[in-house]
Amino acid sequence: MKIKFCEKNLDRFSKPAYKALKGRHDDVKLKKESCLKECRLCRAEPFAIVKGEIVRADTPKKLVKKLEKAIEQKGKK
Protein backbone atom coordinates (compact mmCIF):
# COMPACT_ATOMS: atom_id res chain seq x y z
CA MET A 1 0.00 0.00 0.00
CA LYS A 2 1.23 3.49 -0.82
CA ILE A 3 0.24 6.68 1.01
CA LYS A 4 1.07 9.94 -0.75
CA PHE A 5 1.69 13.22 1.05
CA CYS A 6 2.05 16.67 -0.50
CA GLU A 7 5.30 18.36 0.54
CA LYS A 8 3.58 21.72 1.06
CA ASN A 9 0.90 20.09 3.21
CA LEU A 10 3.63 18.36 5.20
CA ASP A 11 5.15 21.77 5.89
CA ARG A 12 1.79 23.27 6.88
CA PHE A 13 -0.06 20.47 8.69
CA SER A 14 0.65 16.81 8.20
CA LYS A 15 4.32 16.33 9.17
CA PRO A 16 3.38 14.94 12.64
CA ALA A 17 1.15 12.36 10.93
CA TYR A 18 3.90 11.41 8.49
CA LYS A 19 6.41 10.99 11.32
CA ALA A 20 3.92 8.96 13.39
CA LEU A 21 3.36 6.49 10.53
CA LYS A 22 6.93 6.29 9.22
CA GLY A 23 8.38 2.84 9.84
CA ARG A 24 5.28 1.61 11.69
CA HIS A 25 4.02 -0.72 8.93
CA ASP A 26 6.31 -2.86 6.77
CA ASP A 27 3.82 -3.14 3.92
CA VAL A 28 3.05 0.60 3.74
CA LYS A 29 5.18 2.97 1.71
CA LEU A 30 4.95 6.67 2.56
CA LYS A 31 5.71 8.86 -0.41
CA LYS A 32 6.33 12.60 -0.52
CA GLU A 33 5.18 14.27 -3.73
CA SER A 34 6.01 17.86 -4.62
CA CYS A 35 2.34 18.52 -5.46
CA LEU A 36 -0.81 16.39 -5.42
CA LYS A 37 -2.93 18.97 -7.29
CA GLU A 38 -5.25 19.52 -4.31
CA CYS A 39 -4.16 23.11 -3.59
CA ARG A 40 -7.35 24.34 -1.92
CA LEU A 41 -7.43 21.35 0.42
CA CYS A 42 -3.68 21.55 0.94
CA ARG A 43 -3.96 25.08 2.33
CA ALA A 44 -6.83 24.16 4.66
CA GLU A 45 -6.15 20.89 6.50
CA PRO A 46 -3.98 17.79 6.82
CA PHE A 47 -4.57 15.17 4.13
CA ALA A 48 -3.02 12.25 2.30
CA ILE A 49 -3.99 10.08 -0.66
CA VAL A 50 -4.53 6.36 -0.21
CA LYS A 51 -5.33 4.23 -3.29
CA GLY A 52 -6.47 7.34 -5.17
CA GLU A 53 -8.82 8.39 -2.36
CA ILE A 54 -8.31 11.58 -0.36
CA VAL A 55 -8.13 11.05 3.40
CA ARG A 56 -8.55 14.30 5.30
CA ALA A 57 -8.85 15.32 8.93
CA ASP A 58 -9.02 18.35 11.22
CA THR A 59 -5.72 17.56 12.95
CA PRO A 60 -2.62 15.47 12.23
CA LYS A 61 -3.57 13.14 15.10
CA LYS A 62 -6.99 12.49 13.56
CA LEU A 63 -5.33 11.96 10.17
CA VAL A 64 -3.14 9.24 11.69
CA LYS A 65 -6.24 7.50 13.07
CA LYS A 66 -7.97 7.61 9.68
CA LEU A 67 -4.86 6.37 7.86
CA GLU A 68 -4.39 3.57 10.40
CA LYS A 69 -7.99 2.55 9.77
CA ALA A 70 -7.38 2.52 5.98
CA ILE A 71 -4.27 0.36 6.52
CA GLU A 72 -6.25 -1.99 8.76
CA GLN A 73 -9.04 -2.29 6.17
CA LYS A 74 -6.46 -3.18 3.52
CA GLY A 75 -5.12 -5.93 5.77
CA LYS A 76 -8.58 -7.50 6.06
CA LYS A 77 -9.06 -7.75 2.28
pLDDT confidence tier of residue 50, bands split at 50, 70 and 90: very high
Domain containing residue 32: 2-76
Query: Residue 52 pLDDT > 80, yes or no?
Result: yes
Length in residues, the chain: 77
pTM attached to this predicted model: 0.92
Mean pLDDT of 37-56: 97
In sequence order, which ranges of 1-77 are alpha helices (DSSP H)? 7-9, 15-21, 39-42, 60-76
The per-residue pLDDT for range 2-32, each reduced to its tens digit, is 999 999 999 999 999 999 999 999 999 999 9
Q: Report the chain's terminal Cα–Cα distance, integer Å.
A: 12
